[in-house]
Chains A and B, each alone.
Chain A
Amino acid sequence: MSWLTNTLSPVGLGWFGGFLTSSIGKKVLMALTGLFLISFLPIHLLGNLYLLKDDKGESFNLYAEFMTHNKIIKAVSYTLYLSIVLHAIQGLLLWRQNASARGQNYAVKVTRAVGTNARAATRMGWLGTILLIFILLHMYQFWLQMKLGNVPRAAYGNGEIVKDLYNPVMDAFANPTFVIIYVVSMIAIAFHLWHGFQSAFQTLGLNHGKYTPFIKALGKAYSVLIPAGFAIIPIYVYGDSMGWW
């Protein structure tokens, strides 16, 4: 009697599973995790800016101490790790599925786009892979060493001894290889966000004549300014170590 028998859930996962495994549900997961990661970037950047303060790392290390010991921030950070994992795995799966949906490739193919950058939009998989490798390296180099306590200790004003992340970061940024890896990764994140920021809103169905121009403009400004803010720090530290300024 129904032309709609078994509307949802092609594989018997219930309605929610059916939603998550649908093409739109997969993209909704990408959009939500992506927006959460986007919202985290300025917080991370504000912390990093302490590196520029000329106090031998006191404010940066105390900030790191606070961030690693506050319960609410810990809960948020686990949500963040989960988001990175989900965004990366789902992204790689979508990339594979999308690449195979064409079958035979075109001999000549020109991709035009409306209101976004076609080159960035069609290379989200590659950009994301660069970012995943960067995040793994980044977390191994700083996060894991901090977690395992493989960093020096420093004592400040109130006599409290805290982990010293400042000096390992300064050492890394005095190394031109790391500076280049870091800056290239920030360029990749800029292109990733150039498309991803506004794309997330579109996926969630938020496209409206009144707000979309603002979202697109904000996305463009965000995708340039935030990565530029991150990239300036290693360049500044490197230049400082070389006595350029």
Chain B
Amino acid sequence: MENMHLKLKIWRQGGKFSKKGEFVTYELDNVSEHMSFLEMLDVLNEKLITQREEPVAFEHDCREGICGTCSMVINGHPHGPNAGTTTCQLHMRFFRDGDTITVEPFRAKSFPVVKDLVVERAAFDRIIQAGGFVSINTGQAQDANAIPVSKESATASFDAAACIGCGACVAACPNASAMLFVSAKVSHLALLPQGKVEAKRRALAMVKQMDLEGFGNCSNVTACEAECPKEISVENIARLNREYISAAFVYDEKEEKGGGAG
């Protein structure tokens, strides 16, 4: 099928549409199977603009699957039904002529809708600000092997670091839990020597912020891993649990508050 006709049931909220939001169905002709999903939305928006209608607001940036911006739920799947891809990497050849496609924003109380498909994901930024960093300057590049890192740790850390912070885990989770995101950030730092130094207080601080943001609790459903465009494993959640439980029992924050010598 070269050119498809599609029915797009898209969530519209704010602007000319109601504040609490509603679905609007658009018909789109001549959709090429070579288009990405975002290009298809671009075509829809050009059509809407020519018709003097309000274009659909959606987020996009790199369009190559590394920025984590293109958040939307397509036919019940964050970033669409394909495994290991973001919305911008989803191509129209995965749909059939005459399909009705339902497009909704990521839904979580902690991700309020800004407009249409755009949600505010500042909650993730605040979780990172709470501890998702190493608080020393890294300085010059080290001599090779000056700091030994095992192959296993490097691989596991890098797998966790593949997280692009898109929020698909929250969108997919029946509890809107952010555990996969937080666990990926905690894991990628805790597995490396520079990050390990602050691993305990990092786990405590990030989980505390996660709870304050109002995300749900993890039920180990693993929907997050199934939908994650970077295929982050729930093994990271187990690692976060280990880090958090051990930190809760051995990390003494009073010692941290005490001033240094002199």
A residues with a Cβ closer than 8 A to B are 1-8, 10, 15, 18-19, 22-28, 94, 97-116, 118, 121-122, 124, 195, 198-199, 202-207
Whether the Cβ atoms of B248 and A102 lie closer than 8 Å is no
Q: How far is the CB of B149 from chain A (nearest CB, A)?
A: 19
| B44 contacts partner chain A, Cβ-Cβ < 8 Å | no
Complex-state Cα separation, A111 to B227, whole angstroms:
9
Given contacts A103-B107, A106-B107, contact A24 B245 (CB under 8 A): yes
Complex-state Cα separation, A178 to B241, whole angstroms:
41
Contacts of B243 on A, CB cut-off 8 Å? 205
> Which of A4, A100, A116 touches B222 (beta carbons < 8 Å)?
A116
Given contacts A98-B174, A124-B219, contact A7 B102 (CB under 8 A): no
Whether the Cβ atoms of B221 and A3 lie closer than 8 Å is no
Whether the Cβ atoms of A10 and B212 lie closer than 8 Å is yes
Q: How far is the CB of A87 from chain B (nearest CB, A)?
A: 14
What are 23 A-to-B residue pairs whose CB atoms are below 8 Å? Answer: A4-B201, A7-B204, A7-B251, A8-B204, A8-B253, A10-B212, A18-B248, A22-B208, A22-B248, A23-B177, A23-B215, A23-B218, A27-B217, A101-B108, A102-B174, A106-B76, A108-B102, A113-B222, A121-B219, A122-B219, A205-B238, A205-B242, A206-B238
Summarize A's interface: helix, strand, loop or mixed: loop
Given contacts A7-B208, A207-B238, contact A106 B104 (CB under 8 A): yes
Q: How far is the CB of A20 from chain B (nearest CB, A)?
A: 9
Contacts of A118 on B, CB cut-off 8 Å? 221-223
Q: How far is the CB of B173 from chain A (nearest CB, A)?
A: 9
Contacts of A10 on B, CB cut-off 8 Å? 208, 211-212
Whether the Cβ atoms of B225 and A114 lie closer than 8 Å is yes
Complex-state Cα separation, A121 to B253, whole angstroms:
36
B residues with a Cβ closer than 8 A to A are 9, 11, 21, 23, 73, 75-77, 81, 102, 104, 107-110, 130-131, 135, 172, 174-177, 179, 201, 204-205, 207-208, 210-212, 214-223, 225-227, 234-235, 237-245, 248-249, 251, 253, 256-257, 259
Q: How far is the CB of A234 from chain B (nearest CB, A)?
A: 31
Complex-state Cα separation, A112 to B107, whole angstroms:
17
Given contacts A113-B223, A195-B220, A199-B219, contact A101 B177 (CB under 8 A): yes
Q: How far is the CB of B183 from chain A (nearest CB, A)?
A: 10
In the complex, what residue of chain B is closest to A196 when comparing beta carbons? B220
Contacts of B241 on A, CB cut-off 8 Å? 24, 27-28, 202-205
Given contacts A2-B256, A113-B221, A199-B219, contact A108 B204 (CB under 8 A): no
Most A CB contacts (10 A, CB to CB) among B207, B217, B218, B251 go to B217
In the complex, what residue of chain B is closest to A111 when comparing beta carbons? B223
Q: How far is the CB of A21 from chain B (nearest CB, A)?
A: 8
Whether the Cβ atoms of A8 and B208 lie closer than 8 Å is yes
Interface contacts beyond A28-B241, A198-B220: sample of 7 additional A-B pairs, CB < 8 Å, sorted by A: A3-B135, A24-B207, A28-B245, A101-B175, A108-B102, A112-B223, A114-B234
> Which of A4, A102, A121 touches B221 (beta carbons < 8 Å)?
A121
Complex-state Cα separation, A115 to B90, whole angstroms:
25
Q: How far is the CB of A97 from chain B (nearest CB, A)?
A: 7
Whether the Cβ atoms of A121 and B220 lie closer than 8 Å is yes
Complex-state Cα separation, A104 to B23, whole angstroms:
13
Whether the Cβ atoms of A25 and B248 lie closer than 8 Å is yes
Given contacts A102-B109, A113-B221, A202-B238, contact A97 B216 (CB under 8 A): yes
In the complex, what residue of chain A is closest to B175 when comparing beta carbons? A98
Contacts of A101 on B, CB cut-off 8 Å? 108-110, 175-177, 214-216
> Which of B11, B102, B245 touches A205 (beta carbons < 8 Å)?
B245
Whether the Cβ atoms of B107 and A105 lie closer than 8 Å is yes
Contacts of B179 on A, CB cut-off 8 Å? 23
Whether the Cβ atoms of A111 and B217 lie closer than 8 Å is no
Whether the Cβ atoms of A122 and B207 lie closer than 8 Å is no
Q: How far is the CB of A124 from chain B (nearest CB, A)?
A: 6
In the complex, what residue of chain B is closest to A201 when comparing beta carbons? B238
Contacts of B175 on A, CB cut-off 8 Å? 98-99, 101-102
Q: How far is the CB of B29 from chain A (nearest CB, A)?
A: 23
Complex-state Cα separation, A207 to B201, whole angstroms:
22
Q: How far is the CB of A40 from chain B (nearest CB, A)?
A: 22
Q: How far is the CB of A23 from chain B (nearest CB, A)?
A: 4
Whether the Cβ atoms of B174 and A23 lie closer than 8 Å is no
